């Protein structure tokens, strides 16, 4: 047997008497999100003939039906984070008789609004053009409640007719259907550490070690992560998955492509106050506040429940871009707060989005592997949708895999290109992705340019856009002194830094206070501390026996780092100041696996390449809410 060495796994021989186990399956799948849902649903349906007999035989276990195994990192298949509003074209095609009543929290889109939010507190960092525009809107009386509702929604942003869904509930429902069919198994609570590679081929995956301490050293109950050999590995681990990123690192991206634009989406599910005027099926998008770069969404589910949140993008250059505090200021904007006040947080969560879209597309296939979903560049940055696109990419792969199985063809790069990649290129997915490809380039230059660029691309079908060259995320982040120049003197920043470090606190609270952001008055229901949001909303927990999945590549780099963006931006306050002054501290129990630390670091990786100084691996645990 060949010796497979998984990439990027900690070196170190296994202790005496411990062997790494190995198991062979036909198709090994990584991650259960909508993309994998589309794939497994399509595959399961096609794998059994009408009489219930399997249409193909397993090669890994002759005599058995094909062994299709999916490993999901989170502790349950319903613990994902998303919006979701979707046109649902792919979903409708997969479930022509879809009855939304079967899926809790699902409903139809009934009404859409795009609202420009003015700054009611005077602390937001608005470019001059925007300030002039604000003044005009106020003077003409067009702004009500410090907000201006756009008179018309351009077609490319419209979601009607469409669905409002909870990603968690949808995934639970879809996963239940798939498991019920019996052709595929989905195992949550099982992080995949990385791909098993032979040259540029993928021959399976290695699971994460269990029974280890925080450093990954064997402890009682040590079980080295199993090697799962497979003929085809389907990588659907989303925007920040360890397997997809390992492949990107090993194989590079196709020439001209790069995945450098990110955003962290932070959200809540809220029980709206009794008598709330917001109606089921409402889709509300906001721009302009709390910072011009931060977009917001509010969708109304059945039962007087809303899904709401904000996106903090990588091109918002603040080194103290904290999602949580901004989310609280956004909710308290008078236009929203009049509906939300008195509401109660049911759920909270955060996750990164890969916003490079088509331009971030990796090698979609290779010998023994195929990639689907957001990690394969499906998310459309112009229409702001990724859910149905991810599902559809899974469906296209499902159809292709069935075709190859029926013809008994191996899963080689050529065969996958002739089937899956071809189908993808011919699909609406590709068409729309092309239109969107350069839509956000303008944001590289500035927020106004970005907004104009989006409109240009949307209205011209992608022919027009505002050009802007991209940079690696860490190259964008300025020093605190630079970013706050003219607003906070350098000596004062130094003082704030000293005070906060001594107290072990991040800087963003103090800096935002200093800039005039009002302090948050906790009400214990909707406005709660970040830690309480983790506990009450995210129900965050981490099983023991896994290594720290967030580490710092070079402690010296961290030591010399003044921005410490990783601490400021961490969605779970899982990364905190080290009072000893070394690399920041990481608390696995608080991590929500949003992956924001991957792109919220201001220093390049000592090993070079695209990445920064944070190493983000596959880990278990995180959110335990199935509503996000």
For binding to other proteins (CB under 8 A), which residues are involved?
21, 23, 67, 69, 71, 75-79, 104-105, 169, 172, 175-176, 179-180, 182, 185-190, 207, 210-211, 220-221, 223, 226, 228, 346, 502, 504, 522, 524, 529, 531-532, 535-536, 539, 541, 543-545, 579-580, 589, 624-627
For residues 396 and 371, the answer to whether their CB atoms sit within 8 Å is: no
> What is the Cα–Cα distance from 332 to 199, expressed in whole angstroms?
53
Q: Closer CB to ligand SF4, residue 419 or residue 571?
A: 571
Q: Does 236 help bind ligand FAD (rule: CB under 6 A)? A: yes
Q: Is the dihedral of CA 628, 246, 362, 32 positive or negative?
A: negative
Q: Does 343 help bind ligand FAD (rule: CB under 6 A)? A: no
Q: Closer CB to other proteins, residue 185 or residue 554?
A: 185
Minimum CB distance to ligand SF4, residue 538 (Å): 10
Cβ count near 13 (within 10 Å):
6
Q: Does 353 help bind ligand FAD (rule: CB under 6 A)? A: yes
Q: Which does 74 bind (CB under 5 to 8 A by kind): ligand SF4, other proteins, ligand FAD, none?
A: ligand FAD
User: How many angstroms separate the Cα of 220 from the Cα of each of 119, 147, 216, 224?
Assistant: 55, 58, 12, 12
Among 593, 615, 618, 628, binds ligand SF4 (CB under 6 A): 593
Q: Please choose, from the candidates 349, 378, 377, the residue with its C-alpha nearest in 3D space to the C-alpha of residue 268.
A: 349
DSSP state of 101: G
Q: Closer CB to ligand SF4, residue 232 or residue 570?
A: 570
End-to-end CA distance of the chain: 44
Long-range contacts of 400-408 (CB under 8 A, 24+ apart): 401/27, 401/39, 401/43, 401/232, 401/370, 402/42, 402/43, 402/46, 402/47, 402/55, 405/55, 405/56, 405/66, 406/55, 406/56, 408/56
Q: Please choose, from the candidates 413, 368, 362, the residue with its C-alpha nearest in 3D space to the C-alpha of residue 202.
A: 368
Q: Please choose, from the candidates 609, 603, 478, 621, the residue with its C-alpha nearest in 3D space to the C-alpha of residue 552.
A: 603
Among 572, 610, 618, 625, binds ligand SF4 (CB under 6 A): 572
Q: Closer CB to ligand FAD, residue 24 or residue 112?
A: 112
| Helix ranges, 419-521 (H) | 422-426, 428-436, 447-460, 473-476, 480-483, 490-503, 508-514
Q: Does 34 help bind ligand FAD (rule: CB under 6 A)? A: yes
Site string for ligand FAD, 76-115 (x = CB under 6 A): ----xxxxxxx-----------------------------
For residues 75 and 621, the answer to whether their CB atoms sit within 8 Å is: yes
Q: Which does 561 bind (CB under 5 to 8 A by kind): ligand FAD, ligand SF4, other proteins, none?
A: ligand SF4
Q: Closer CB to other proteins, residue 160 or residue 280?
A: 280
> What is the Cα–Cα distance from 34 to 31, expressed in whole angstroms?
9
Cβ count near 96 (within 10 Å):
6
Among 43, 242, 300, 536, binds ligand FAD (CB under 6 A): 242
Q: Closer CB to ligand FAD, residue 117 or residue 390?
A: 390
Cβ count near 502 (within 10 Å):
10
> What is the Cα–Cα distance from 282 to 41, expressed in whole angstroms?
29
Among 300, 561, 620, 626, binds ligand SF4 (CB under 6 A): 561
Of 45-53, 122-130, 222-230, 234-242, the segment contacting ligand FAD by CB under 6 A is 234-242
Helix or strand holding residue 66 (H, E): none
Q: Closer CB to ligand FAD, residue 84 or residue 196?
A: 84
For residues 250 and 7, the answer to whether their CB atoms sit within 8 Å is: yes
Q: Which does 603 bind (CB under 5 to 8 A by kind): ligand SF4, other proteins, ligand FAD, none?
A: ligand SF4
Describe the chain by its helix, strand, coil percentages, rounded to 5. Answer: 30, 20, 45
Of 9-17, 137-145, 183-191, 589-597, the segment contacting ligand SF4 by CB under 6 A is 589-597
Q: Is the dihedral of CA 330, 333, 336, 340 positive or negative?
A: positive
Q: How do 227-235 and 369-371 pair as beta strands?
A: parallel
Q: Does 586 help bind ligand FAD (rule: CB under 6 A)? A: no
Q: Closer CB to ligand SF4, residue 107 or residue 617?
A: 617
Q: Which does 265 bind (CB under 5 to 8 A by kind): other proteins, ligand SF4, ligand FAD, none?
A: ligand FAD
Our CA dihedral for 452, 457, 463, 465, rounded to 10 degrees, sits at 40
Q: Closer CB to other proteins, residue 460 or residue 531?
A: 531
Q: Which does 626 bind (CB under 5 to 8 A by kind): other proteins, ligand SF4, ligand FAD, none?
A: other proteins
Helix or strand holding residue 295 (H, E): strand 295-301
Q: Does 285 help bind ligand FAD (rule: CB under 6 A)? A: no
Among 235, 595, 615, 627, binds ligand SF4 (CB under 6 A): 595
Of 248-256, 379-387, 477-485, 551-559, the segment contacting ligand FAD by CB under 6 A is 379-387
Among 594, 618, 623, 626, binds ligand SF4 (CB under 6 A): 594
241: Cβ–Cβ under 8 A, 6 or more apart, which residues? Answer: 30, 31, 73, 235, 375, 618
Q: How do 163-164 and 85-86 pair as beta strands?
A: antiparallel
Site for ligand FAD in 405-464 (CB under 6 A): none
Q: Closer CB to ligand SF4, residue 432 or residue 568?
A: 568
Q: Which does 584 bind (CB under 5 to 8 A by kind): ligand FAD, other proteins, ligand SF4, none?
A: ligand SF4
Q: Closer CB to ligand FAD, residue 238 or residue 398?
A: 238
Q: Closer CB to ligand SF4, residue 39 or residue 616?
A: 616
Q: Does 550 help bind ligand FAD (rule: CB under 6 A)? A: no
Site for ligand FAD in 163-192 (CB under 6 A): 167, 191-192
> What is the Cα–Cα distance from 15 to 166, expressed in whole angstroms?
45
- Residues within the interface to ligand FAD (CB under 6 A): 30-36, 71-74, 80-86, 167, 191-192, 236-238, 241-243, 265, 267, 309, 351, 353, 373-374, 379, 385-388, 390, 535, 541, 618
- Residues within the interface to ligand SF4 (CB under 6 A): 550, 552, 557-558, 561, 563-566, 570-572, 574-575, 584, 591-597, 601-603, 612-614
């Amino acid at each position: 047997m060949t010796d497979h060495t998984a990439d990027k796994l900690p070196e170190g021989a296994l202790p005496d008497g411990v062997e790494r186990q190995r198991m062979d399956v036909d198709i090994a799948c990584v991650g259960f999100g909508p993309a994998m849902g589309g794939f497994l649903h399509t595959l399961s349906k096609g794998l059994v003939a009408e009489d219930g007999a399997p249409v193909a035989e397993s090669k890994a276990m002759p005599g058995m039906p094909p062994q299709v195994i999916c490993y999901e990192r989170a502790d349950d298949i319903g613990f994902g984070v998303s919006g979701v509003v979707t046109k649902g074209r792919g979903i409708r095609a997969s479930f022509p008789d879809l009855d939304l009543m079967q899926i809790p929290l699902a409903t139809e889109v009934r009404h859409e609004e795009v609202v420009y939010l003015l700054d009611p507190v005077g602390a937001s960092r608005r470019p001059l053009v925007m300030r002039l525009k604000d003044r005009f809107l106020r003077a003409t009386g067009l702004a009500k409640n410090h907000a201006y509702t756009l008179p018309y929604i351009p077609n490319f942003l419209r979601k009607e007719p469409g669905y409002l869904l909870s990603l968690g509930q949808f995934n639970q429902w879809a996963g239940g259907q798939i498991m019920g069919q019996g052709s595929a198994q989905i195992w949550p609570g099982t992080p995949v550490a990385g791909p098993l590679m032979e040259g540029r081929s993928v021959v399976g995956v290695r699971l994460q070690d269990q029974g280890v301490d925080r450093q990954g050293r064997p402890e009682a109950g040590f079980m080295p992560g199993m090697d799962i050999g497979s003929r085809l590995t389907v990588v659907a681990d989303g925007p920040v998955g360890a397997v997809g990123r390992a492949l990107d690192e090993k194989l590079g991206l196709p020439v001209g492509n790069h995945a450098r634009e990110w955003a962290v989406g932070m959200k809540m599910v809220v029980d709206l106050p009794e008598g709330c005027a917001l109606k089921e099926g409402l889709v509300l998008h906001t721009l302009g506040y709390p910072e011009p770069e931060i977009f917001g969404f509010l969708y109304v589910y059945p039962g007087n429940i809303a899904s709401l949140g904000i996106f903090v993008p990588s091109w918002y250059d603040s080194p103290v871009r904290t999602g949580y505090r901004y989310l609280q200021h956004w909710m308290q904007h008078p236009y929203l707060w009049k509906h939300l006040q008195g509401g109660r947080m049911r759920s909270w969560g955060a996750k990164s989005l890969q916003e490079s879209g088509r331009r971030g597309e990796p090698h979609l296939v290779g010998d023994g592997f195929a990639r689907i979903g957001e990690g394969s560049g499906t998310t459309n940055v112009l229409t702001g949708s990724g859910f149905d696109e991810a599902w559809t990419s899974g469906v296209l792969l499902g159809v292709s895999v069935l075709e190859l199985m029926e013809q008994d063809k191996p899963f080689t790069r050529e065969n996958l290109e002739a089937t899956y990649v071809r189908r993808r290129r011919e699909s609406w997915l590709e068409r729309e992705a092309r239109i969107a490809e350069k839509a956000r380039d303008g944001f590289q230059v500035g927020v106004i340019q970005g907004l104009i660029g989006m409109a240009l691309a949307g209205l011209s079908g992608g022919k027009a856009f505002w050009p802007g060259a991209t940079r690696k995320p860490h190259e964008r982040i300025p020093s605190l002194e630079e970013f706050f120049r003219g607003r906070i003197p350098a000596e004062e920043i130094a003082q704030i830094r000293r005070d906060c470090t001594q107290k072990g606190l991040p800087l963003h609270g103090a800096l935002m206070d200093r800039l005039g952001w009002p302090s948050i008055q906790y009400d214990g229901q909707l406005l709660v501390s970040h830690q309480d949001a983790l506990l009450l909303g995210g129900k965050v927990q981490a099983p023991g026996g896994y290594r720290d999945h967030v580490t710092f590549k070079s402690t010296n780099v961290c030591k010399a780092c003044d921005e410490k963006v990783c601490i400021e931006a961490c969605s779970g306050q899982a990364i905190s100041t080290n009072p000893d002054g070394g690399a920041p501290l990481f608390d696995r129990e608080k991590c929500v696996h949003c992956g924001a630390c991957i792109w919220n670091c201001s220093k390049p990786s000592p090993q070079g390449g695209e990445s920064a100084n944070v190493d983000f691996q596959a880990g278990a645990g995180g959110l335990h809410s199935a509503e996000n």
